[in-house]
Amino acid sequence: MKKILLLVIYVIAFQLHAQTYMYGTTYEGGANGLGIIYRVDQNGQNFQKVFDFTTSTGGKPLGGLTLANGKLYGFTTEEGPVDNPGATAGFGSFFSFDPLTNNLTVIESLDDKSIIGSDINHSPLLANDGKLYIISAQSEVGVFNSIISTYDLGTQAISVLATLDRTTHGQGRSKLMQASNNHFYIATSNGGTNDFGTITRWNTSTNQLEELFNSTGPGESPNHGFKNAQNGLIESSDGYLYGTSTQGGDITDVGVLFRIKLDGTDYSALEVFKSGIQDQGFYPYSGLTELNGLLYGNTSEENIDNVNAGTLFTYNLTTGVVDYFYTLDLEGYTPKGTMTLSTNNRLYFTTTGENGGNNGSLIEYNPINGNVTQRHSFNGTNGSKPYYDELAVVDFTSLSIDESSLLDNIVNTYPNPFQDVVNIKVEGSHLIETIKILDLKGSELYIDNSKSNESNVNTSFLSSGVYLLYIQTDLGSTTRKIIKE
């Protein structure tokens, strides 16, 4: 009998726990107007709002989330606690979010005395040493130096590594990246010799900042430098660093796609973005994603400034050809999020909704058939304006937390033993999705698919005996033995 019970529980758990989700944030909307954390399944569907930011947690996150050690990490840019000694104003928070409990914990108050600064536009980087690496755009209020810091997931210690001088290196508004040589790179948005930005490296061997390249900014060929870089570099399979900048290129100053060697030499402008040309894009904010020999990116605008929705493009690493393969329309307006590869081998990204008068959307691109599909439209209540929202893919089967024991504390069933009615209630904002009663052979005797956080199941149709009560929630599932008297 015990073996049958364990087998039934194992089969149910295997079927329903093997779930992959993508998590993201919005800058505005939700219950408090300060943004939300949401999730969709691996196909970009079945949207769920899982957290509303508040003034106490901090709100208005610009970046997405980073998965590390079973939790998601990110930053808010406004409000939040004022916890550091001598602090008087909050400018956001550094937080962790547990995808199993939907609980958010503030790790560091980004107030006016925070040692890691504030104005952090992107999620932290999970590095090869298992630490999270962070760069801020302001070292203190009104001081636009950038601080590189780390967060040790084991000791929970925050350490400052270096400060980028606004004049010498520029501001770090992009996400840090770690290359194959183990060093960290960033394209800054300004600063350097010409004040258009630099490629700066944190050398992990010497623990020193190195200014590798000074951009010449927009100009005539061959001086198509970058300017106002907003997203991270990528090291492609050919060993070069690639990136885009929102401005720079030629004298129209609407962006450039570039590459450079790891030592800061051999800078090349690969595509000078242009406005006023139908089905071509400009003002790229997102980073790049490599798939099957192509770099995928998007532009926030197309043809006419502040009118059209943006474009999707590829750069072929073999041929060097840039292809604007899709012009966005009703799917969504003004993409600024980097594309994320899901487990279904499709790419997902978000749009802000700016220029289109809406709240933004989540879009899927299928490289196999070329289809572009809107998977979710934000409506304000469920969030609005996702910005640099790089989605985080979370496989629940790989999380290190015991989901069953966790649910024991969240799902309440009573009384047990019972006579006719068994009551089921879940804590917090979680929902009961499915209730099943099975006999000890695994045969299904009762099912209820109504969505609620509390249910009273009338079992007058059951004889006295021992049964299995299966409860599926939005958090996961649990199976319990119940006794009818």
Shared domain for 26 and 171, answered yes or no, is yes
Q: Is 296 helix (H, G, I), strand (E, B) or coil?
A: strand
Q: Is residue 406 situated within a structural domain?
A: no
pLDDT tens, residue by residue, 155-183: 899 999 999 999 999 999 999 999 999 99
- pTM for the complete prediction? 0.82
- CATH number for position 272: 2.130.10.10
Whether 446 is in a domain gets the answer yes
Confirm whether 9 is domain-assigned. no
Q: Which amino acid is at 98?
A: D
The neighbouring-strand residues paired with 471 are 435, 478
The verdict on residue 370 lying in a domain is: yes
Domain identity same for 183 and 296: yes
Comparing 31-45, 65-79, 347-361, the range with the smallest average pLDDT is 347-361
Cis peptide before 222 (omega within 30 of 0): yes
Q: What is the pLDDT of residue 459?
A: 93
- Counts of helices then strands in the chain (DSSP H, E): 2, 39
End position of a domain, from candidates 345, 370, 395: 395
If we measure between CA atoms, which residue out of 321, 310, 290, 320 comes closest to residue 352?
A: 310
Angle at 411 between CA 410 and CA 413, to 5 degrees: 145
Residues 365 and 444 in one domain: no
**Which CATH number goes with the domain that contains 476?**
2.60.40.1930
Position 302 scores a pLDDT of 94
Q: Does residue 221 sit in the same domain as residue 283? A: yes
339 shares a domain with 290: yes
Q: Decide if 142 is inside a domain.
A: yes
Residue 249 has pLDDT above 60, yes or no: yes
229 domain-assigned: yes
* One domain for residues 58 and 187: yes
pLDDT tier, 109 (very low <50, low <70, confident <90, very high otherwise): very high
Same domain for 459 and 311, yes or no, is: no
Distance between CA 361 and CA 379 in Å, rounded?
9
The total number of structural domains that make up the chain: 2
Specify the range with the lowest mean pLDDT, choosing from 28-37, 118-127, 323-332, 398-407.
398-407
Q: Do residues 429 and 295 both lie within one domain?
A: no
Per-residue pLDDT of 359-396, as tens digits, reads 999 999 999 999 999 999 999 999 999 999 999 999 98
In a domain, 237, yes or no: yes
Q: Tell me which of 368, 395, 422 is where a domain ends.
A: 395
Q: Do residues 122 and 390 make contact, with C-beta atoms less than 8 angstroms apart?
A: yes
- Asked if residue 13 is part of any domain, the answer here is no
Question: Are 466 and 337 within one domain?
Answer: no
Residues 257, 273: Cα–Cα separation, whole Å: 8
Question: Given 395, 429, 447, which residue is the final one in a domain?
Answer: 395
For residues 260 and 123, membership in a common domain is answered with: yes
Cα distance between residue 394 and residue 399, in whole Å: 8
Question: Do 432 and 302 share a structural domain?
Answer: no
Q: 45 and 150 share a domain?
A: yes
Q: What is the pLDDT of residue 477?
A: 78
Structural domain of residue 417, as residue ranges?
A: 411-484
For the cut 70, the answer to whether the pLDDT of residue 5 exceeds it is no
Other C-beta atoms lying within 10 Å of the C-beta of residue 395: 13
d(CA 145, CA 139): 5
